[in-house]
Amino acid sequence: MTVLSHPARQPGADLVSTVSIENLSHWYGRGSTRRQVLQSVDLEIAAGEVVLLTGPSGCGKTTLLTLIGALRQVQQGDVRVFGQQLKGAGRGQRQQLRRRIGMIFQGHNLLRCLTAEQNVQMGADLLAGFSYRGRRDQAREWLRAVGLEDHLSKLPQDLSGGQKQRVAIARALAARPQLLLADEPTAALDSGTGREVVELLKRLAREQSCSVLMVTHDPRILDVADRLVKMEDGRLLQAIE
């Protein structure tokens, strides 16, 4: 798998944590409807670490994920991803940063009009310095890595739930992220498929030495984590080893 070899890292990148959060608070709404969803959250994720985030629904897990993913403006507190401060970061800066973060969604969110291969290539296309053919070859490699080499030219509507989620994983990894954010990737899958998908995700992330932060409700997959973080009412509870 020469194409999928370890991506070049910036010098010194390993010296800082992938994610470093200090005293992060976040609110939704304005005036009387203003509601605090995150309260002084502190979290560190080291390079290559696989962290699982669990907790009841509505406790702020997804909000935390979108803040780390540079999809939302940070209101209060420090969020550093790859050493970059996200508080006060502009639209362009956040968009640049997102290129280095892979995202896997609860729904697969594949592009309906693209084949599996083309969907994965949308991820690979974010990489600079490869020819069209090179990027297509990478897309194929990734689909092979998730075991879908026979379904290259199928549209999402012709794939099963587990296959779609595997395409989504391939797409996220094809952009060579250094951090992977996953929001309940197994929610729409049966237990066996869910387990398979998560193990695949972990193995491939390991090979890329990519950190993973995964939000999940699913108790059957907790054991894949290096570390488990619990959340309740906008606060992080003590980590469970």
Binding of residue 69 to other proteins (CB under 8 A): yes
If the CB atoms of residues 158 and 223 are measured against other proteins, the closer one turns out to be: 158
Q: Does 36 bind other proteins (CB under 8 A)?
A: no
Residues of 25-47 as b/e, b for ≥16 C-beta within 10 angstroms? ebeeeeeeeeeebbeebebebeb
95 binds other proteins (CB under 8 A): yes
Using CB under 8 A as the binding rule, whether residue 66 contacts other proteins is answered as yes
Query: Distance between CA atoms of 28 and 156, rounded to whole angstroms?
Result: 34
Going across the sheet that includes 19-28, the strands are 35-45, 19-28, 76-81, 84-85
163 binds other proteins (CB under 8 A): no
Task: Name the residue nearer to other proteins (CB basis): 234 or 238.
Answer: 234
Q: Which of 52, 55, 59, 183 binds other proteins (CB under 8 A)?
A: 183
- How is the beta sheet containing 211-215 ordered, strand by strand? 101-104, 179-183, 211-215, 50-54, 227-232, 235-236
Asked whether position 106 contacts other proteins by CB under 8 A, the answer is: yes
Neighbouring C-beta atoms of residue 76, cutoff 10 Å: 12
Q: Is 111 in the site for other proteins (CB under 8 A)?
A: yes
Beta carbon nearer to other proteins, 151 or 223: 151
Candidate segments 4-12, 23-31, 169-177, 220-228, binder of other proteins by CB under 8 A: 169-177
Other beta carbons within 10 angstroms of residue 237's beta carbon come to 12
Q: Which stretch binds other proteins (CB under 8 A): 21-29, 119-127, 217-225, 228-236?
A: 119-127
CA distance 50 to 180: 9
Binding of other proteins by 68 (CB under 8 A): no
Contact between 137 and 130 under an 8 Å Cβ cutoff? The reply is: no
For residues 19 and 179, the answer to whether their CB atoms sit within 8 Å is yes
- Closest CB 171 distance from other proteins, rounded Å: 8
Which string of x and - marks every residue 121-150 that binds other proteins (by CB under 8 A)?
xxx-xx--xxxx------------------
